[in-house]
Structure 1
Amino acid sequence: MRLSPPQPYNNDSYAELQIFDAFRSVEMSDAICFNSLHLVSHREKKMSEIDFVLVCSKGIFVFEVKGGRVFQKNGKWYSRSNQKSHSIENPFNQARSALFSLVDSLKLEKILSPHVPIGYGVLLPNTVSSGTSVEYDASMLGSKTALKGFSSWLENFIQFWVNKVKAPTTLSSEEITKIANYLRPNSLVSDKLLSSFEHLNALQQQVITAFEYGKRVICDGAAGTGKTLLVEVIAKECVSVDKKLLVLCESKWLKGRLKTRLNRTNVVVATIDSLQVDSRRAFISQYDVVIVDEAQDLYRLDKINLLEQYINGGLEKGKWIFFQDLANQSGFFLSPETEAIEKIKKSSDVSLSLDTAYRYSRTTLNFISGLLGKDKLPTKKVNGPEVELFSADDGDAERKNIETIIYKVLSLGYKHSDITLLSINPFIESVVSQLPKSIRTSVIQVDDFNVRTFPLGGISFSQLEHFKGLENKVVILIDFSKKCLDNTPKAYVAMTRASERLIIAWTSDEQPTDINVSQTTEDSVLDETFETSLVPEWKEVLETTFLEEECETFIAQNLSPPICGYELIVDEMVVSDAELAWPKANLCIFIDDTERKDIEKFKSEGWRCYQTPLTDDELDEISKITSTL
């Protein structure tokens, strides 16, 4: 779903930030969720603020968020945090009064039918359970446990309120847009389906929002952060069919891929070399909108000047967005010219960055960082198989390695189409052309035509220079030597094409001596299943902790389960609490919003303390200490 604003407001409520992320992860078409919506007209107050308002096809729903450990005592509500309890308003009363004040305003504007379901709920992201009460139904309360399966909880919550209406009616896309723009003007700049953006993260949505508001945007992001995905989303959902759109890139192969995925009459997909011919064939002299993918490959003055001729209004007044990876991939073809980079910067309105990788695991990122010296990105995939390295003493051993790798990958359940052989050489000069016929007949060379239906029906082979912007589940780097590492951008691109497994088959006698190289033995990492049987204690931890990805790392290393929500007791009093703790090792982990004084209380009692986000070194330390328990 879409959120307004696309990023949370800066406030001191960590609980609201948690709920913001929870709503952002929900897949719901025709939906928009507002954070911190102000109500000028309120039944009981001069002015009020609603924490979250959800407008979707099934109705309108209001949510009150309370942080800390919330509980009731003698009919009053309290929240406990930082080892102190303080009284709070009844959150259900707050949510209910806010809902009816909101409904009053919508009815006054005559934009809400009486049969549209409405409802309210309370979200307590730091409370495991607040008990039951006759004052509210259990479906109306979302606790810490519910947050772990928030989409399912939200679905049940909505259905609870829908069931209360005799003949419920749904809201159309147009009605949602009308209500949304009344609640927060210009929150929806068009009536397009909101489902188009439900899978984007906050930074990706920020890029979309900037583009929709007419900004000239430079979007920078490393490999795997979703740049090409945004190219497709913007082209399909943010540019009307009456506007002439140019999608430009350097690679013919990427051009072919995008041309198939953006098959619309108003779209021309071209490389800088084919721009003049493709535009002439489409009878277009200038474009209303221009999207450039892999822009770092085009930063030469002659190329930029040529492109500017085709932009309606030029670079300074035209509508455009450039996607680039200047830090890692510039210099793949030719070194970018400073004058070209500065010309684009000077003409842009805003520069945004994507900082989360989705394609590969932390394991792969660590390998790339160690080998190439690249900065580490956060990644949504924490766990993953080790990068496999295979050495060879001669050409025969090299060919045998590749043959063995392919058979082992297939034995893990991967299909032929999941595998790409990637080389710096053309097919005829590659070792793959010397493989046994039984394997060679399964290999299909990628070209600028069949790339449109990639992945192909068999094992694919591609030269590295043509595979920019593409990926596959398993990538086997072949013909790989020390010389490949001399061109860091090319090595970086090569090692970031795999979404699941990266395997490197070094050429004979060419692997770097300072890298730990795996041999083709029976206990290869390729034989691991990476499945862990969870003990009940770990299952309980995963149901309640917010450090799920860190816990998955610990589980993969067969560590003993910690205590979640551990309370430190001194002189029979609770003086602090930690998110995860191993009391036998006097080791604990705190979430990132924990105050320093609360951590110091553990330290004063001799505990070893860590606070998220954890570095790789810290994860290693924790693993070593707790592995002996």
Structure 2
Amino acid sequence: MIPAAIGPDTASPGEQELFRRFRDDPATEGWTVLHSFNLPRHISQMRGEADFVVIAPGLGMLCLEVKAHRRVSREADGRWRLGNDPLTTRSPFKQAEDNMYSLLRVLRERRRAEADAVIAWAAVAFTHVDFREPAVEWNEWEVIDNRDLRRASIGELVTRVLAKARACLPHKAIEGVPSRRECDVIVAALRPAFEVAQPAARRRDEAAAELLSYTEEQYAALDGMSRNPRVVFEGPAGTGKTLLALEAARRASAEGERVLLVCFNRLLGAWISEQAKELTGVTAGTLHTHMLRAAGAVQPQAATEAWFRDELPDLAVSALLEQDGGGTYDRLVVDEAQDLLRDTYLDFLDLRLAGGLSSGRWTFFGDFERQALFDAANVSLDEFLAARSSIPVYALRANCRNTPRIARWVTMLSELTPAYAAVRRPDGGPAPRVRYFTGADDEAQEVQAVLAELYAAGAEGRDIVLLSPVRDCVAKRLPSPWKDRLQPYGQDRGRNLIGYATVQAFKGLEAPIVLVTDITEVHGDRARSLFYTATTRPTEQLHVFADAVLRDEILDLMDRFNAEEPHA
């Protein structure tokens, strides 16, 4: 699809529906579909616009005019009435045909050979009515109507139109024309480089808007569980849990509630704190930061994990009891809850929430199977639920973050069971890539090569994050000029600085392009969880750097997955 996402200014529900159909239909693989193609040098008017231009190898080119009106008629005087629009003498079929000839004129001026080779035709799609009106001014097969769309895919319908057109033009009925190369040339002539080489900032903004729109579809989960004062939302990475947690906090804030929104790791805590700072009555950040505040304590310079896990919660609970500071919040929202299911943490949260965890209002979001990386929890979800009666658990299974290629790859290599029920994103961008290294120096060379490719393709440093399961990572060993462009994620980064972090620290966050480095094992619960968490972070591209000794294991996982797929 060009453009890859439908613009927010597209008001026609018919165009919106057909855009989704063209994008998602397996039968259109290998086609190029141009949406909203402007024709400033139109043959019959000042300028025009073709709703869709389909360029299909071996079939031809189709200009498709879309009419989404719920009523279509032609008066006795020959004028057309489309919905509530004013009467017009211009037939939708004539409109589509003029667009086709205008398009061919442009193509002949730029690429005569390909223009002469392509079979071009025009058709009209009436997306909301059953249009079966006989006439001598158009062929029945030049119509795609609501009944057709209910019975067949858009790929099948367009193929049918172009096959009929080919039969009408025996002098052009050459098998395999236009070829894939000719189609590529046609697309390049009609919509050249400025859209392909889209600026990184615009690409990033569009991707962010797209991600948000798919996550907002998940808000229905909050709507469906809104009557429950206490609920657990569980789901694998990429199902929108963090944004749903923010939305739950926003809704509670709008109702005048005092809200505590917490998570475990520092980088995610900083992010949700920034996102929630405009919400009235919402306190957001890490649980440990909140406990430090409640206890009035200062973190020791040499604080250990045991201090955060046991001593700090005791200090915070004691301070609350002494100050009668319990029940401060009306609503508790916990993100990445699998890391906070620990007796000492739960005791503190129980005191902080009005009514406590048994009777208060709270919402937990977590991936309780794969992303418990901090070894902080000592209470399973089942144990937590068993201690409290009638707590509903809502399963989130639709991936909103990753492209289908990345989601399928992650499912395959991390052995995710059950797999995602759906992937909301369109399938764009490159497939995940694995590069194998034979030592530290070799890995550094491989990482530098990929970074150079990304920069050459227009990526900016802020688009890229390097993640490693170990602190002594390859990012710290890269030579100049790359070492000057790298800094720990979370620091203030300019557009040309690349962030790096451990997988554990980056959990709950995402980035357009992720390089997962220093992979030396993929089997075992711990290694599999780290690998799964790291590879589910990217929204656009995934690059993995694995020790060469893992090549056979990774290929074996791929083969096993492909063999087990029902449709394989």
Q: Report the TM-score when normalising by structure 1.
A: 0.49
Q: Secondary structure at the match of 1:327?
A: coil
Q: Determine if the alignment matches structure 1 residue 274 to structure 2 residue 267.
A: no
TM-aligned CA distance change 1:462 to 1:249, over 3 Å: same
Q: Secondary structure at the match of 1:243?
A: coil
Give the whole-Å Cα distance in 2 for the aligned partners of 1:460 and 1:260: 19
For 1:329-348, list aligned pairs within 5 A: 329-330=371-372, 332-334=374-376, 336-338=378-380, 341-343=383-385, 346-347=388-389
Q: Determine if the alignment matches structure 1 residue 511 to structure 2 residue 553.
A: no
CA contact (8 A) 2:373 2:504 kept: no
Q: Deviations over 1:179-233 (max 9, x none)?
A: xxxxxxxxxxxxxxxxxx9946797233322454353111111111111111122
Shift of 1:402: 0.6
Give the whole-Å Cα distance in 2 for the aligned partners of 1:293 and 1:204: 16
Q: Equivalent residue for 1:536? A: none
TM-aligned CA distance change 1:344 to 1:251, over 3 Å: farther
Give the whole-Å Cα distance in 1 for the aligned partners of 2:484 and 2:440: 20
For 1:440-519, list aligned pairs within 5 A: 440-447=483-490, 450=491, 458-482=497-521, 486-487=525-526, 488-507=528-547, 509-516=548-555
TM-aligned CA distance change 1:498 to 1:423, over 3 Å: same
Q: Secondary structure at the match of 1:432?
A: helix
Name the structure where helix makes up a greater proportion of residues: 2
Task: Give the number of aligned pairs.
Answer: 355
Q: Determine if the alignment matches structure 1 residue 405 to structure 2 residue 444.
A: no
CA contact (8 A) 1:246 1:287 kept: yes
Q: Equivalent residue for 1:380? A: 424
Give the whole-Å Cα distance in 1 for the aligned partners of 2:371 and 2:565: 27
Q: Secondary structure at the match of 1:474?
A: strand
Shift of 1:145: 8.6
Q: Deviations over 1:322-358 (max 9, x none)?
A: 0011132235534652377434773554221212102
Select 1:257's aligned residue among 271, 291, 295.
Answer: 271
Q: Deviations over 1:492-540 (max 9, x none)?
A: 1011011111111124x443423349xxxxxxxxxxxxxxxxxxxxxxx
Q: Deviations over 1:366-413 (max 9, x none)?
A: 322222211321212353522211112232211110100111122222
User: What amino acid is aligned across from residue 367 of structure 1 in structure 2?
Assistant: W
Name the structure where strand makes up a greater proportion of residues: 1
Q: Deviations over 1:107-126 (max 9, x none)?
A: xxxxxxxxxxxxxxxx9978
Give the whole-Å Cα distance in 2 for the aligned partners of 1:202 and 1:255: 21
Shift of 1:278: 3.1
Q: Equivalent residue for 1:414? A: 459
Q: Determine if the alignment matches structure 1 residue 423 to structure 2 residue 468.
A: yes
User: What amino acid is aligned across from residue 271 of structure 1 in structure 2?
Assistant: T
Give the whole-Å Cα distance in 1 for the aligned partners of 2:465 and 2:486: 9
Q: Secondary structure at the match of 2:508?
A: coil
Shift of 1:437: 1.6
Shift of 1:301: 2.2
Give the whole-Å Cα distance in 2 for the aligned partners of 1:401 and 1:126: 53
Give the whole-Å Cα distance in 2 for the aligned partners of 1:253 and 1:201: 21
TM-aligned CA distance change 1:64 to 1:431, over 3 Å: closer
Q: Deviations over 1:89-135 (max 9, x none)?
A: xxx9xxxxxxxxxxxxxxxxxxxxxxxxxxxxxx99786635599xx
CA contact (8 A) 2:253 2:280 kept: no
Shift of 1:273: 2.3
Q: Report the TM-score when normalising by structure 2.
A: 0.54
Q: Determine if the alignment matches structure 1 residue 432 to structure 2 residue 475.
A: yes
Give the whole-Å Cα distance in 1 for the aligned partners of 2:289 and 2:408: 38
Q: Secondary structure at the match of 2:413?
A: helix
For 1:106-505, list aligned pairs within 5 A: 129-131=131-133, 143=146, 199=213, 204-210=218-224, 212-240=226-254, 242-263=256-277, 264-279=279-294, 285=326, 286-330=328-372, 332-334=374-376, 336-338=378-380, 341-343=383-385, 346-347=388-389, 349-375=391-417, 376-377=419-420, 378-381=422-425, 383=427, 384-426=429-471, 429-447=472-490, 450=491, 458-482=497-521, 486-487=525-526, 488-505=528-545
State the superposition RMSD in angstroms.
Answer: 4.3
TM-aligned CA distance change 1:297 to 1:145, over 3 Å: farther
CA contact (8 A) 1:224 1:358 kept: yes
Q: Secondary structure at the match of 1:422?
A: strand
Q: Equivalent residue for 1:11? A: none
TM-aligned CA distance change 1:363 to 1:328, over 3 Å: same
Give the whole-Å Cα distance in 2 for the aligned partners of 1:387 and 1:323: 28
CA contact (8 A) 2:464 2:511 kept: yes
User: What amino acid is aligned across from residue 480 of structure 2 in structure 1?
Assistant: K
Give the whole-Å Cα distance in 2 for the aligned partners of 1:304 and 1:455: 39
Shift of 1:262: 0.4
Q: Equivalent residue for 1:528? A: none
Give the whole-Å Cα distance in 2 for the aligned partners of 1:146 and 1:345: 52
CA contact (8 A) 2:462 2:496 kept: yes
Give the whole-Å Cα distance in 2 for the aligned partners of 1:241 and 1:204: 21
For 1:40-59, list aligned pairs within 5 A: none
Shift of 1:143: 3.7
TM-aligned CA distance change 1:491 to 1:311, over 3 Å: same
Q: Secondary structure at the match of 1:405?
A: helix
CA contact (8 A) 1:268 1:278 kept: no
Give the whole-Å Cα distance in 1 for the aligned partners of 2:149 and 2:252: 35
CA contact (8 A) 2:467 2:502 kept: yes
TM-aligned CA distance change 1:504 to 1:131, over 3 Å: same
TM-aligned CA distance change 1:341 to 1:203, over 3 Å: farther
CA contact (8 A) 2:353 2:360 kept: yes
CA contact (8 A) 1:315 1:347 kept: no
Give the whole-Å Cα distance in 1 for the aligned partners of 2:254 and 2:338: 27
CA contact (8 A) 1:300 1:340 kept: no
TM-aligned CA distance change 1:430 to 1:237, over 3 Å: same
Give the whole-Å Cα distance in 2 for the aligned partners of 1:458 and 1:352: 39
Q: Equivalent residue for 1:38? A: none
User: What amino acid is aligned across from residue 530 of structure 2 in structure 1?
Assistant: K
User: What amino acid is aligned across from residue 531 of structure 2 in structure 1?
Assistant: A
User: What amino acid is aligned across from residue 229 of structure 1 in structure 2?
Assistant: L
User: What amino acid is aligned across from residue 484 of structure 2 in structure 1?
Assistant: T
Give the whole-Å Cα distance in 2 for the aligned partners of 1:198 and 1:465: 24
TM-aligned CA distance change 1:338 to 1:222, over 3 Å: closer
Q: Equivalent residue for 2:117? A: none
Give the whole-Å Cα distance in 1 for the aligned partners of 2:336 and 2:445: 36
Query: Which piece of structure 1 moves more, 401-410 or 384-393?
Result: 384-393
Q: Secondary structure at the match of 1:398?
A: helix
CA contact (8 A) 1:287 1:310 kept: yes
User: What amino acid is aligned across from residue 423 of structure 1 in structure 2?
Assistant: S
Identity of aligned residues (%): 21
